[in-house]
Amino acid sequence: DSAHDLDDRVFYRKPGYVYSRGGSPTNTTLERAISTLEGAEVTHVCSSGMAASHLALLAAGAGQDELILCS
């Protein structure tokens, strides 16, 4: 693989994995299993609770100009 192949995978122009930021076979298998069990169209797994919380907050504020949170 070359730097061009890596670039194509990072920007989803070519299928493949960019461990772990762009997924891994283990993550893909887990996501598919959870989707099957839950009857979900799509499942995303995260490496930490903070990453999962971040994704949930981004989804909740999608399409908004601002998202204000307090800790």
Write out pLDDT tens, residues 13-69: 988 887 766 678 898 999 999 999 999 999 999 888 998 988 888 888 888 888 777
Token pair, residue 59, equals 């989804």
pTM: 0.63
Cα 36 to Cα 1, 15, 24, distances in angstroms: 33, 22, 18
First to last CA, the chain: 44
DSSP 59: H
Task: Please state, in angstroms and rounded to a whole number, the distance separating the CA atoms of residues 11 and 50.
Answer: 24
Measuring CA to CA, how many Å separate 32 from each of 6, 46, 61, 62, 66? 24, 14, 26, 24, 33
